[in-house]
Amino acid sequence: MREQYHEQLDVVRDELVTMTQKVAAAVTRASKSLLDADLQAAESVIASDVDIDELADRIENQCLELIALQAPVAGELRIMVGALRMSATLERMGDLAEHVAQIGRHRYPDHAVPEPLAPSIREMGDLAARLAYELGDIIDKVDVEHALRIEVEDDRMDELHRELLLTMLAPEWTYGVETAIDLSMINRFYERFADHAVSVARRIVHQATGQRVERIEQN
């Protein structure tokens, strides 16, 4: 029974890794929809969010079944609860990618991002995708050291977030209110995406060590 139980735990972990890959792909396509006025990319993100939601539901059901039937001990229960919370967080990351894509679709055939700001949005999108892919590796290997580096990478997203806000508030802004609203939302979606990545990384540290992390500091 315990061998079967641990095999089921491995299935949950593998499906969490799959979620990170789907979320990373979604945010990559969402960024493309903004930067390239790519309607097909936007539509694919919106359509694929159902797959992410269904995967989160499956992980939740698996975890609840294991908790009910296998009576996990303290460390195992921590893994189960952590997996439940991580799947919910990854599902929200997928929603944020969908929100970005919806702006790209709404602005089509125009570009949602003015050309001078495209490099900043591209960096935010690339960073978001990289964080999601890194989470997959961290979950797969239970890599605490790598998890501890995620928050430092998130600091760069925070810098980009602040820089874009300052640009939109500057007297030199010439792109109008509608574009400012779109960019404010895009900016927030990427920033929240990275915050959720930090949350998952912290959860991995807690699973592996039993210690909660409030702020990761690097030596």
**pLDDT for the residue numbered 138:** 96
Whether 89 is covered by a domain: the verdict is yes
How many domains is the chain partitioned into structurally? 1
- Domain of 8? 2-209
* Mean pLDDT value of segment 31-47: 96
Least confident of 25-34, 60-69, 93-102: 60-69
Q: Token digits for 124?
A: 């935010």
Whether 202 is covered by a domain: the verdict is yes
Helices and strands, counts by H and E, the chain: 6, 0
DSSP string, 146-187: HHHHHHHHHHHHHHHHHHHHHHHHSTT--SHHHHHHHHHHHH
pLDDT digits (tens, 9 = 90+) for 190-212: 999 999 999 999 999 998 888 87
Distance of CA 47 to the CA centre of its chain: 17
pLDDT digits (tens, 9 = 90+) for 145-199: 999 999 999 999 999 999 999 999 999 999 999 999 999 999 999 999 999 999 9
User: Rounded CA gap, 15 and 210, in Å?
Assistant: 22
Percent of residues in the chain assigned helix, strand, coil, to nearest 5: 85, 0, 15
**pLDDT for the residue numbered 2:** 65
User: Rounded CA gap, 23 and 27, in Å?
Assistant: 6
Angle, in degrees to the nearest 10, between helices 144-169 and 118-141:
160
User: Rounded CA gap, 219 and 216, in Å?
Assistant: 10
DSSP string, 115-140: GGGHHHHHHHHHHHHHHHHHHHHHHH
Whether 215 is covered by a domain: the verdict is no
Amino acid found at 181:
I
Whether 200 is covered by a domain: the verdict is yes
Of the candidates 193, 174, 210, 215, the residue with the CA atom closest to the CA atom of residue 125:
193
Whether 219 is covered by a domain: the verdict is no
Task: Please report where in the chains the tokens 């079967």 appear, as a residue.
Answer: 4
CATH at residue 16: 1.20.58.220
Q: Does the N-terminal peptide bond of residue 119 adopt cis geometry, omega within 30 degrees of 0?
A: no
pTM of the model: 0.93
Whether 144 is covered by a domain: the verdict is yes
**pLDDT for the residue numbered 215:** 56
pLDDT-based confidence at residue 103 (cuts at 50, 70, 90): very high
CB 115 within 8 A of CB 181: no
Whether 217 is covered by a domain: the verdict is no
Whether 88 is covered by a domain: the verdict is yes
Cβ partners under 8 Å of residue 73, min gap 6? none
* Mean pLDDT value of segment 81-90: 95
